[in-house]
Structures are given as C-alpha cells and as structure tokens.
Structure 1
Amino acid sequence: MPSRTASCSCGGLRIEVGGEPLGVGICHCLACQRRTGSVFAALASFPAPFKVYGAATEYVRVGDMGARFVFRFCPICGTTVFHTEEGNDDTVSVAVGALADPGFQPPTVSVYDSRRHPWVRLPPGSVTFERDPD
C-alpha cells in the first residue's frame, strides 16, 4: 500500500498515512478560515492506521453539530498538519497543503459554501453544501 507523508513547515511534526484518500473536500466556515489564515481549508480524509512523528500542540473545537475536533499543529512553526474527531478512530483528516504535492487530487466536496468568498472557484462537478451536511 502506498504511503504519503504530510509535514509542517519546519519538519518537526509529520504524519504518515496509507492508501488512497477516502475523500477530499474544502471547508469555508469562519472557524477554518481563521484557523488556516486562508479563505478555506483543504482536507483529505485517510483511513487508520496512521503514524505521527514529532510533538504536536492540540486545539479542540466543537462543530455546529456538537462534534469535537482535535486539531494538531506544530508547536515550533504553527502549521496545522491534521485533525481527528473525538470518538472516531477510523479516519484522520490531513491538510492537503501539508502533503506538498501539486498533483494531489482536487476536492470534490465544498462545505459551508454559504461562507465561500465569491471569487473562489470550485473544481467542476463539486458537490456543495450550504453548511455542514452531517
């Protein structure tokens, strides 16, 4: 099974995932915009198991539907590398930019499209949700 490694800017925090992504999406919610410092977050979901190398600082955010998400970022450079949902040990969501692969597949889902900046264009065929579909 092929593996991929995502890393922070300084290399102090890495995650190795295996297989193909279960899905790739972007989130335009205001929390993700603030968290990333960008206008959306691009995430790829991978199946467990995964391996984490280095130290991470954690930040827990409660989503609109009550789910608790644990974001891991590098305590040195501050890059968000991945997050998990409390109670769901089957998957991990990796920041697409941390994979540093310009050939990585594009997102197919866009959530919180109601918060999308009007100049952001989605890939053709993207499925959109005004809010979180869960």
Structure 2
Amino acid sequence: MTLLAPLAVLASEMPRIAAWPLALAALGHGAVLLWREARRPRRAFVFVGGAGAALLDGATVRDVSLRWQGPLAFLSWRDAAGRARRLVWWPDSLPSAQRRELRLAAPEPPAARRRPSMAP
C-alpha cells in the first residue's frame, strides 16, 4: 500500500502541481507507518489452565474472551488497571498451526441459556 498510494495519486486526473506533493506525502506517511510497525514489540500470550486465566507478556490478565469471525481471531481482556484491551490476528499474521493451537488452548465459550431463545 505504501507504494501503491503514490502511484494511484499520480495516475489520477489530479493536476500535476497538486499530485506530486500529495504522492510524496502518501509515500512519507506509509514509510512512517512501516517504521512504527517494525519497531512494535512482539506480544507473548499464554492461556494458563482451563479456567480462562491468561498471561500477557508475563502479567496476569482477566476477563479473557476469544472470538472467531471466519479466519480472524479477536482476543479481548482487561489489564491490571481495568482497561479493556484487544488483539486481532489476520490469517497472514498467524500461521494455521498456531491458529489451531490457539483454538485448542482457549477456554470453552459459555454454554447457551437453558430456556429457549425463541418465542414458543
């Protein structure tokens, strides 16, 4: 995307006097985002036991919830200060073996309610 954004601006019918500065700005912004992502530290998340307890970077977290929407995994929790946090794994960032390991290690989702969810 960092390389395609400036090319898209230059390929548009925008006047060249405005297109070149915008293309350079898009390229610079993409480079800043790439640099920021490359410097972001890796996170270590571990489920401990079967009760839903978990560790994130060695610190205990609570209210852990793992939700799947197709191939995407959404993990939410509360940190020690009580703030809600969230991680998202795309299929290209989490290999299939690790996705399977995450599914197996995660606590079971809560069971459905006993009473029927639809009107009789």
Same fold (TM over 0.5): no
TMscore range, shorter length: under 0.3
Q: Is the radius of gyration larger for structure 1 or structure 2?
A: 2
Structure possessing the higher relative contact order (Cα contacts under 8 Å, 6 or more residues apart): 1
Normalising to structure 1: TM-score of the pair?
0.24
Between Structure 1 and Structure 2, the one with more helix by share is 2
Normalising to structure 2: TM-score of the pair?
0.26
Between Structure 1 and Structure 2, the one with more strand by share is 1
